[in-house]
Amino acid sequence: MVDRKRGLGRGLSALLPGTEPGLQLVPLSEIATNPMQPRQRFAEDSLQELAASIREHGVLQPLLVTPLVPSRPTGEHYQLVVGERRLRAARMAGLEKVPVLVRGLSSRESLEVALVENLQRQDLNPVEEAQAFQELMLAFGLTQEEVAGRVGRSRSAVANSLRLLKLPEPVLTMLQDGRLSEGQARPLLALASDDAIIRAARQVVDGDLTARQCERLVRELLAPASHHRPPQAPKPQPTQLEEQLRRRLGTKVNLVRTRRGGKLVIHFYSDEELDSIVRSIVGSDEGL
């Protein structure tokens, strides 16, 4: 019996059943693309180079596919799991058939295998990686911790990746294009508005700032005035002033602050006590 509790973080070999069937040559027309493919961007020049290599040497690494049950009316019998780039390049090279390995995989297993394969090859940009984690959570009800266990990442790494999806669309595009790195983008999340994040991201890209310089920029944007204001001694609290006046005058004192100043209330309980307070304030020779 096959152990279904295999961990995806240990590599692609841990994802697949132990029995190794032989290769099959399958017409390209029978292979449907994977609608849950984590990788969305493929560089045209890189595809052209791979297509040239395929014309010369053929497809050296088989594609991984899963049967479509039932087959589609269009004649597609398999759905691609791993090998989108090879599939596209094979079509560009004019091939009619490609070598494949056929595995019976569920939708979740197909997404997990595709995600792990791309993570191991480091083919995903930070946005594609975060979107794949989110898809696992939303489509299959997994927690961050469960996703982390399935793809061999720490829970904090998955959480930090998902936080990137809170960035505004123009900044996500910078991440996808490689103009902005994950280390540069993450500090921007501390800014208060999308406009502030976009302006800061453009400043980071234009100035070619490092991740550490980006963190410093965000701190300055969050507290712009504090860097130009000389340090000031802390103001005494009203209770401290009240206590000083009470000891000086020998009676109860209330200090009440308002937006335009405040008021000072000095309490006395006899004419003699009032005379003593006045003498303390204006001098010993000045009484009532």
Q: Is 129 a catalytic residue?
A: no
Contact present, 152 and 116 (Cβ < 8 Å): yes
Q: How far apart are CA 195 and CA 169, in angstroms?
A: 11
Q: Where are the alpha helices (DSSP H) in the chain?
A: 44-57, 84-93, 107-121, 126-140, 144-151, 155-163, 169-177, 182-185, 194-207, 211-222, 238-249, 271-282
Q: Using alpha carbons, select from 110, 87, 117 the residue that is nearest to residue 99.
A: 87
Residue 57: phi, psi to the nearest 5?
-120, -10
Torsion of CA 14, 18, 23, 28, to 10 degrees: -50
- Structural contact between residues 250 and 274, judged by C-beta atoms closer than 8 angstroms: no
Active-site option among 49, 56, 76, 84? 84
- DSSP letter at 47 equals H
- In total, the chain counts a number of residues equal to 288
Residue type, 22: G
Measured distance CA(39)–CA(115) in Å, rounded: 8
Place of tokens 């019996």: 1
Contact 168, 180 (CB under 8 A): no
- Could you give the residue numbers annotated as active site? 84
